[in-house]
Amino acid sequence: MSGRPRPPEVLQGKDFRWFFLSRSVNIVGSMMTPVTVAFAVLHIDNSSESLGIVLAAQLTANVLCLLFGGVVADRLPRRAVMQACYLAMAVIQLTMAASLEQGWASVGSMIVLAALAGGVSAFSMPAQQGLIPQLVPKHQLQQADSLMSFVRNGATFIGPVLGTMLVVTAGSALALAVDGVTFLVAAAMLAKVALPAAKRTARTSILVELRHGWGEFTSRTWLWVIVAAFGVLNAIHIGAWVVVGPVIAKNDPALGIRGWGLVVGSEAVGMLVMSVVLLRWKLLHPLRAGMAGMSCFAIPLLMLGIHPSTLPMMAVAFISGMGTQVFSTGWTVAMMERIPSEVLSRVSSYDMLGSFVAIPIGSLSFGWLASNVDVETLLVTSGCVYVAIVLTTLLVPSIRRLGRVAGEEPDIVKAA
């Protein structure tokens, strides 16, 4: 008998296997995009203000288009929507590359192209969320999400490194061109995916479908409570960790820029490790376990304010990353199991909108607060508020008690 580990059961299905390969190529390319675009903008105008405007244009367009993207992904074949998005992203990236190579690129053109990219991603994200339950049975949803998370977390390292190496060795134009080609390859692979026939429903107006999606969203207390909570949690996370964290690292020799890189890397490693564990570890109560996992982030946040030392922070960031991945998988599985496929993309778009909308506010407010109040007090307060919000969600019975839909593998390791 061979001692080699068996591949995950979910990969035995041809359609999911091609989807997995397509998304893997796409994820690596997508992780390259922020680096390649950032250096492209700085090549045109070496100004942090210009880069900030370009990124703001992309995020704003994404938020504005999310609800419409959810409706389209529920109306049309989701594979076709994703392919169209991949092809559109390829055109955008290759246009950026051509503009740099031919010398007509400007900050204005990059703003327009970045906004287009943000709008396109608002269609692809809800479509992707709704596609997976069409490809795998319910008992394989956790395994499917864990595999995708493993690739995504691994690409968090590989993508930026590849993007940076391409920019350094070949220039921003070629780096953007290679990035664009990854979207073409992903679209070609996705053509191999066959979906079951979708349920035929009567066509109604976009407004009616949005109201239907909103009704599905608000009818589930566990859903809207967690989305509302993450509207605040994400603002704190981005503001305190992403904005204030690097400032502390740069000015505190106990941490330093190199130390901050190790801390952030440790968090990503924790997510990567947990994505492997969740291939076999069944979450019996995905939201209870997920919100408990999210509470771990308060520890590195408090430590950043009280004692920002590299090695201890690496340890708690690793644990926090593991907890974050538990929530990510638990949340995705809960939505895919509990929300009907025909409205899943619309409900996902409301989830994304509610979770993302306050992020710019968090970035701006924490940037101002860090310059006007004591940073230690700010971070300690933020950590306490963060854990209080997380634990408050567990007081909601439907969050605490939500279980799995019957049909999981009988041999999978189980946990609450």
The span from the CA of 178 to the CA of 191, in Å, is: 21
Asked whether 349 and 69 are in contact (CB, 8 A), the reply is yes
At 295, list the tokens.
Answer: 């509470």
Q: Give CA separation, 144 vs 11, 135, 139, 269, 276, in Å.
A: 8, 10, 10, 19, 11
Closest CA to 396 of 213, 214, 223: 223
Q: What b/e sequence results for 137-172 when a residue is b if at least 16 CB atoms lie within 10 Å of its CB, and e otherwise?
A: eebbbbbbbbbbbbbbbbbbeebbebbbebbeeebb
pLDDT value for 409: 45
Question: Residue 83, Cβ neighbours under 10 Å: how many?
Answer: 22
pLDDT value for 141: 84
Q: Please name the amino acid found at residue 263.
A: V
pLDDT value for 70: 87
Dihedral, CA of residue 68, residue 73, residue 76 and residue 78, to nearest 10: 160
The span from the CA of 401 to the CA of 391, in Å, is: 14
Domains of the chain: 9-194 (1.20.1250.20), 211-415 (1.20.1250.20)
Name the 3-class secondary structure at 273: helix
Asked whether 22 and 131 are in contact (CB, 8 A), the reply is no
Ramachandran class of 195: left when φ > 0, alpha when ψ lies in -120 to 50, beta otherwise: beta
Q: Is the dihedral of CA 349, 352, 356, 357 positive or negative?
A: positive
The span from the CA of 143 to the CA of 145, in Å, is: 5
pLDDT value for 411: 37
Question: How high is the mean pLDDT in each 10-residue block of the chain (416 residues)?
Answer: 62 85 83 71 70 76 85 86 92 90 85 90 85 83 84 73 72 81 92 72 76 91 95 89 79 81 83 89 92 95 91 94 94 90 88 84 78 88 96 95 69 44
At 264, list the tokens.
Answer: 């952030």
pLDDT value for 159: 67
The span from the CA of 132 to the CA of 196, in Å, is: 12
